[in-house]
A and B are shown apart, each in its own frame.
Chain A
Amino acid sequence: MLMKKEYNHKNLIQTIGLGVLSLLLAALYLSLCFNRNIWTDEAFTVDLLNSYHSFGEIAAYTATDVHPPLYYWILKCFTDVFGVRLLLLKLLSVLPMFLLFLFGGLYVKKRFGFRTALLFILFTAAIPCSMEYAVQVRMYAWCMLFVTGAGFAAFDAYETGRIRSFLLLTLCGVCAAYSHYFAFAAILWIHGFLFLSLLVRFFRTKENRAGAGKALLFWLGTVLLSLLCYAPWMPYFAKQLKGVSASYWIPEITGDVMFDYLRWPFASDYPGVVILCQCLFAAAFLVLLVRLCVRHTKEDAAAFSALLVPVLVVLTGIVMSRLIRPVFIIRYVMPSIPLLCFFAAVVFSGFPKSAYAMLLIFLVFLTGLDYRCTYYDEYQATYTDRTLDFLVENCREDDLIVYNYRIYDFIYQCYFDSEQLRYIEDVDFGAESGRMWFLRTVYQPAPDASMLAENGWSMQYVGDFGIEQNEFWIYQLDRE
């Protein structure tokens, strides 16, 4: 009785500990949201939410793009209430990360123990690629939640055979498939592993064959239900596939590109981090292989399957790129990254206490380094704030903001009033009379000095500015 009480007390403390850690990490992520910095794809999201006002319109528009619509629908639910605000959109990417830390951690604790749960949360937070994508106004954070949820639900379904685990697998799987196609690929592989495991158990088991058969039937039901839920999007998927086959922006997958896949999840401004992380994951892989040869536990089998999911997603991307045209870029593996972290967590949780403690310290420092890099990227890497502050202070309502870098057109539109914004070649210098702020990007068209002089314009350099990755010089144009 006393032991049970002690166990419950310890269990409670561990649960609270994981909750607090999840909150702390979410707060860390939250602190990266208070800026006006967005990149091209994020600008696309903002533009879409500003331009299309109903769920149907959003679905119709995304059907002409390359991603499924669920992420935009989720945002829509919130922007309908609070309006399209950049901070809100960023917070909506931190939310799934918090849920991933919290529920992922708690589930892993329940099935694999506290040590594994702690490592899972820290690995997911510390792996350099995760912090960058967790605060972007894109679907990756939600996909990570859905794919990880599906992975854990599949393990639970195998372990317990409970119908609610199969239902959770269906829900997470469908959500993932409606969010990103390579999250969909991860879900297909998870279903494949679950089916294989259930099939092997069915043929091996002698005592509870009926139970194993029932689990297989549940799995079949899950697949059918998922297909049913996905059926409405299938025609659009086919249309998108056709569109992508005709043209797409992703470069060809060469040997160098594939080699870079090994570096990408750990890429950091700090050169040592990549090597250390590569060593760590390579060591985890070797240890797991040895353990699988020596003994065969369900934990190790789960870790191996979890490792295979991102690997197979990448292989799927490569094969599809060979068959259709280049459609895969390494960040599309992002939804499966928490499963990679889960694999490492399972492997290292069995290590001796002192090594385990040192690994925790390493991961805390790694999170710190990762935070510094992301903080720099979000707050200091661009001139966005400086530019916006300058123009808010100096640009009058009747001034024009003229730019010469056409492909940044829709990014400028996220920041400036479209009435004031004008492409350089659309400006009639003979007719205009007000003041202009010229955002001059190097190597792009600029007005001829003699033409300006003829029309009575003077051009004065103001300073170095920029929006997102686009750096430019601002010139003030006045008509004398």
Chain B
Amino acid sequence: MAAFLLAGLAAAFFVCRNGSLGRNVMHACATTDQTFQTGPLTGAANAVQQFRADYGHLTSLELIFRKPDNASGTVRVAVYDENGTMYAETYRELASLRSDVYESFALNAELIPGNLYYFMVEAFGEGENAPALVYRPLILDRIDENQVFYYDGAAIGGASGACRYLYRLPLTKLQIGCYTAFCLFAALCFGSFVCLGIDWVKALLHKKSEVLLRSGSNE
């Protein structure tokens, strides 16, 4: 039984270390309802948004595009810090993106909360049907959180990319306690069933050997 308890602890350690069971928090920047779009996104003319990280783990970024129906090629989204160090990048096929709805880009970037970062959006191989990124005017008192939005190297004053940040929070003590207790419970249940099974097999073998012994002594 001790072995199963240890296995349960190991499982709990693995689950809690993994971190994928952390709570997700979505942050959307405070913008008005007006929408605008950038010019065509290409490898040379990209859109860049400066933002301040709210939490440490940026799971994904959601962006709104506008694109012609027959657009083809790839969109690249990457996160950099102020020194140009890349933290994460991801690609999606243009054909899989829809216009005017939030599309998710998985990043899993480890950031420092409170620090400034940039995400860059560019498109490749799109030919003449390049996509555009949607942006919106910021609410004046929230200008600090999504600070500057650039298209093709030029800042667009008071604007923010229409984006949402999905962060994953680290596990709390309550969560760790909950998951550990569950892992131990599962391990102990499994252990009990295995012990029951072993006892049952032992009893069966004992019965058989008794029958054999009895039949041997009769002969």
Interface of A is mostly: helix
* Interface of chain A residues 354 through 403 with chain B (CB within 8 A): 354-355, 358-359, 361-362, 365-366, 368-369, 372
User: Does B140 make an interface contact (CB < 8 A)?
Assistant: yes
Q: Which of A272, A461, A463, A464 has the most CB of B within 10 A?
A: A272
Report whether B21 and A271 are in contact in the complex, using a CB–CB cutoff of 8 Å: yes
Report whether A362 and B185 are in contact in the complex, using a CB–CB cutoff of 8 Å: yes
List, in ascending order, chain A residues with CB within 8 A of B21's CB.
Answer: 270-272
Report whether B141 and A271 are in contact in the complex, using a CB–CB cutoff of 8 Å: no
* Interface of chain A residues 48 through 84 with chain B (CB within 8 A): none
- A354 CA / B5 CA spacing, docked (Å): 10
User: Does A473 make an interface contact (CB < 8 A)?
Assistant: yes
Residues of chain B at interface, number, CB under 8 A: 28
- A423 CA / B186 CA spacing, docked (Å): 57
* Interface of chain B residues 110 through 153 with chain A (CB within 8 A): 139-142
The interface-forming segment of B39-47, B92-100, B172-180, B201-209 is B172-180
Q: Shortest beta-carbon distance, B59 to chain A, in Å?
A: 11
Report whether A271 and B24 are in contact in the complex, using a CB–CB cutoff of 8 Å: yes
Query: Which residue in chain A gives the minimum CB-CB distance to B33?
Result: A442
Query: Which residue in chain B gives the minimum CB-CB distance to A277?
Result: B182
Contact among A272, A273, A283, A365 for B177, CB-based, below 8 A: A365
How many chain A residues sit at the interface, stated as a range, is 20 to 34
Report whether A461 and B141 are in contact in the complex, using a CB–CB cutoff of 8 Å: yes
User: Does A443 make an interface contact (CB < 8 A)?
Assistant: yes
Report whether B179 and A359 are in contact in the complex, using a CB–CB cutoff of 8 Å: no
- As a 0/1 sequence over residues 460 to 480 of chain A, the CB contacts with chain B under 8 angstroms (1 = contact) are 010110000000010000000
Contact among B33, B141, B181, B188 for A352, CB-based, below 8 A: B188
* Interface of chain B residues 157 through 197 with chain A (CB within 8 A): 172, 174-175, 177-179, 181-182, 184-186, 188-189, 192
User: Does A220 make an interface contact (CB < 8 A)?
Assistant: no
Report whether A442 and B188 are in contact in the complex, using a CB–CB cutoff of 8 Å: no
List, in ascending order, chain B residues with CB within 8 A of A269's CB.
Answer: 23
List, in ascending order, chain A residues with CB within 8 A of B90's CB.
Answer: none
User: Does B30 make an interface contact (CB < 8 A)?
Assistant: yes
Contact among A279, A351, A369, A461 for B178, CB-based, below 8 A: A369
- A359 CA / B24 CA spacing, docked (Å): 26
- A285 CA / B175 CA spacing, docked (Å): 25
List, in ascending order, chain A residues with CB within 8 A of B185's CB.
Answer: 355, 358-359, 361-362
* Interface of chain A residues 244 through 277 with chain B (CB within 8 A): 269-273, 276
- As a 0/1 sequence over residues 432 to 443 of chain A, the CB contacts with chain B under 8 angstroms (1 = contact) are 000000000011
List, in ascending order, chain B residues with CB within 8 A of A369's CB.
Answer: 174-175, 178
Report whether A461 and B188 are in contact in the complex, using a CB–CB cutoff of 8 Å: no
List, in ascending order, chain B residues with CB within 8 A of A362's CB.
Answer: 178, 181-182, 185
- A351 CA / B190 CA spacing, docked (Å): 11
List, in ascending order, chain B residues with CB within 8 A of A271's CB.
Answer: 20-24
Report whether A355 and B181 are in contact in the complex, using a CB–CB cutoff of 8 Å: no
Report whether A365 and B174 are in contact in the complex, using a CB–CB cutoff of 8 Å: yes
A270-B175 in contact given A443-B33, A461-B140, A464-B139 (Cβ < 8 Å): yes
Report whether A365 and B181 are in contact in the complex, using a CB–CB cutoff of 8 Å: yes
User: Does B86 make an interface contact (CB < 8 A)?
Assistant: no
Query: Which residue in chain B gives the minimum CB-CB distance to A271?
Result: B21
List, in ascending order, chain B residues with CB within 8 A of A279's CB.
Answer: 186
Q: Which of B22, B172, B177, B189 has the most CB of A within 10 A?
A: B189
Contact among A352, A361, A461, A473 for B192, CB-based, below 8 A: A352
User: Does B1 make an interface contact (CB < 8 A)?
Assistant: yes
A-B contact pairs, 23 of them (CB 8 A): A272-B21, A272-B175, A272-B179, A273-B178, A276-B179, A351-B192, A352-B188, A352-B189, A352-B192, A355-B188, A355-B189, A355-B192, A358-B181, A358-B188, A359-B181, A359-B185, A361-B177, A365-B177, A365-B181, A366-B178, A369-B174, A442-B32, A464-B142
Residues in chain B within 8 A of chain A (CB atoms): 1, 15, 20-24, 30, 32-33, 139-142, 172, 174-175, 177-179, 181-182, 184-186, 188-189, 192
* Those 9 A-B pairs whose CB atoms lie nearest each other, nearest first: A272-B21, A365-B178, A362-B181, A358-B185, A355-B188, A361-B181, A365-B177, A442-B33, A352-B192
- Extra A-B contacts (5), CB below 8 Å, given A272-B15, A276-B182, A359-B185: A355-B185, A365-B178, A365-B181, A369-B175, A443-B33
